[in-house]
Amino acid sequence: MNEIEGSWFDGGRSRRRGARLRWSSGALALLPEEGGRISIDPQRLQMSSPLPGAPTRLSWGGEDSFVTMDEAGIAAMRRDLALGGGWLSRLEKRMSVALGAGILCVSLMAAFAFRGVPAIAARAAFLLPAEVSDDLGDLLLGELETWLPPSQLPEARQAGLVRYFTSRDEIDASPRVEFRASEIIGANALTLSATTVAFTDELVLLAENDLELLAVYFHELGHAELRHVEQKVLTASAWLVMFALLTGDIGVVGDLLLSSVLLGPALGPFSRALEREADAFAVERLLAAGESPGAMINILEKLEAQSRLVITGNGGADENESDSEDTAPDAIIPEAEVTGPEATDEGFLLRLLDIIASHPPTEERIEYIESRIAD
């Protein structure tokens, strides 16, 4: 006779009662402490997968169950009665199967994160009310206030550009156009939400004519109309919620929301796809307005030339050594510049800009526009 000690639950009451499980060849019985004997058919016995340090639960078809911590006794009973360990136990003993299952789970999670989440965010972005986009635009303008102080352009010039843009966009509700001065960012335009677009004074001065600025406006209008910023925010937020659920650490979510270490590389391909959509939108609007997309090529070339000058002047890189794939017209300040006591605040702003705008190589964008002109 062999037996193991444990706790018996009869299914009618939550209170556990001490008991022993006794077996011999082909026979199995439960012996409660208060007396009595319950015979158990070994063929009906079901056993939870044995995990080191965890209790094992046995049941036999009814509401009764027996729980024990006696791992050695369970192993002996399993051996004497020729009991199987269940499918989970068999999987645990086959490392290749367990490893394959782990890889499959990770692959499915990655596919959902990088395919499913952006697709869901793209739909959800259009369900957000305009008030949310207004608040998002105001929030980002406030965060970037250090880099985007009030414009120095004459108010008449600002109003004239707004009238020119809105007279050509042919939409019911044009986004708000904000003008800002920024020696740090330089010639730039940013879409901050579906209802807010910002132009820097330096971009207005860089453009040879207003048609080039219209091309930029149509590009930013594409971001606004297609809710690209909202898509990025929803995607990043969903990723961080998934991270918090997987790790159980919610406290770091706020810090990671603007972390270029995690979200910068992850959002890169997604952001570049959105930039290509905005380029296509701008080209279509220019053609519909009877204007040549060549104006867009002209301003892109000017922005590219300026970005290389900034990198050469601050980073010491020679123009011929500049990698066009790493130089985006709307992200011309190299992160290596962030040093000194204000590094934390400037690093925050850089990460914020990195999430807002990440572009394909300029040469690729120009080739696409030229192909549309050829058509």
End-to-end CA distance of the chain: 89
- Say yes or no: 262 and 354 in one domain: yes
User: What is the count of structural domains for the chain?
Assistant: 2
Q: Is residue 129 part of a domain?
A: yes
Mean pLDDT computed over 242-249 = 72
For 79, the token pair is 């051996």
Co-location of 213 and 351 in the same domain = yes
Q: How much helix, strand and coil, in percent to the nearest 5, is found in the chain?
A: 55, 15, 30
Determine what percent of the chain is predicted with pLDDT higher than 70.
Answer: 75
Looking at 92, 114, 137, the residue that finishes a domain is: 92
**What pLDDT sits at residue 145?**
86
Nearest to 31 by CA among 40, 21, 44, 41: 21
pLDDT for 261 beyond 60: no
pLDDT of residue 95: 65
Please say if the pLDDT value at position 172 is more than 90: no
**Residue 45 or residue 300, greater confidence:** 300
Structural domain includes residue 119 = no
Residues 189 and 129 occupy one common structural domain: yes
Q: Residue type at 20?
A: R
Q: Does 105 reside within a domain?
A: no
Which of the pair, 60 or 282, is modelled with greater confidence? 282
Model confidence pLDDT, tens digit, residues 264-310: 445 556 788 889 999 999 999 999 999 999 999 999 999 988 876 65
Average pLDDT over residues 98-124: 87
User: Are 78 and 212 found together in one domain?
Assistant: no
The answer to whether position 201 is within a domain reads yes
Last residue of a domain, one of 92, 107, 133: 92
Q: How far is CA 354 from CA 10, 331, 348, 350, in A?
A: 61, 7, 10, 6
Q: What is the pLDDT of residue 238?
A: 86
Q: What is the pLDDT of residue 268?
A: 59
Domain boundary at 46, 71, 92, which?
92
Whether 87 and 192 map to the same domain: the answer is no
Per-residue burial over 146-170, b if 16 or more Cβ lie within 10 Å, else e, is ebbeebebeeeebeebbeebbebbe
151 and 296 share a domain? yes
Give the pLDDT band (50/70/90) at residue 330: very low
User: pLDDT averaged over the chain?
Assistant: 79
Q: Report CA 262 to chain centroid distance, whole Å.
A: 9
- Within-domain flag for 254: yes
- 270 & 339 share domain: yes
The whole-number average pLDDT for the span 53-59 is 86
Q: Cα(343)–Cα(337) distance, rounded to whole angstroms? A: 9
| CATH number, domain with residue 19 | 2.30.29.30
Whether 43 maps to a domain, the answer reads: yes
Find the range with the poorest average confidence among 82-96, 210-224, 229-243, 262-276.
82-96
Can you give the pLDDT at residue 374? 85
Check: CB of residue 30 under 8 Å from CB of residue 19. yes
**Domain with 134 in it:** 124-374
- What's the whole-model pTM score? 0.63
pLDDT above 70: residue 337 = no
Same domain, 199 and 296: yes
pLDDT value of residue 302:
94
Indicate whether 10 and 136 sit together in one domain.
no
pLDDT bin (cut points 50, 70, 90) of residue 244 is confident
Mean pLDDT of 48-54: 72
Taking residues 133-142, report their average pLDDT: 91
Is residue 357 within 8 A of residue 273, CB to CB? The reply is: no
Q: Left, alpha or beta for 374 (phi > 0: left; psi -120 to 50: alpha)? A: alpha
Q: What is the pLDDT of residue 294?
A: 95
Q: Residue 246: what pLDDT?
A: 75
* Same domain for 81 and 163: no
Band the pLDDT of 338: cuts 50, 70, 90. very low
- Give the whole-number percent of the chain exceeding pLDDT 90: 37
Tokens of 162: 């707004």
303-327 mean pLDDT: 52
Q: Which of 371, 272, 273, 265 is nearest to 329 (CA)?
A: 272
In a domain, residue 106? The reply is: no
Q: Looking at residue 341, what is its pLDDT?
A: 37
C-alpha to C-alpha distance for 137 and 197, rounded to whole angstroms:
8
Residue 146 forms part of a structural domain: yes
Task: State the chain's maximal CA–CA distance in angstroms.
Answer: 100
Judgement on whether residues 84 and 223 belong to the same structural domain of the protein: no
* Interaxial angle between packed helices 263-288 and 294-315, expressed in degrees from 0 to 180 and rounded to the nearest 10: 150
Listed in sequence order, the residues at least 6 apart from 64 whose beta carbon sits closer than 8 Å to its beta carbon are 8, 9, 10, 11, 30, 38
Residue 123, pLDDT > 50, answer yes
CA distance 258 to 276: 23
Under 8 Å between Cβ of 83 and 29: no
Q: How confident is the model at residue 24 (pLDDT cuts 50, 70, 90)?
A: confident
Question: What DSSP state is assigned to residue 15?
Answer: -
Distance of CA 140 to the CA centre of its chain: 19
* Same domain membership, residue 262 and residue 171: yes
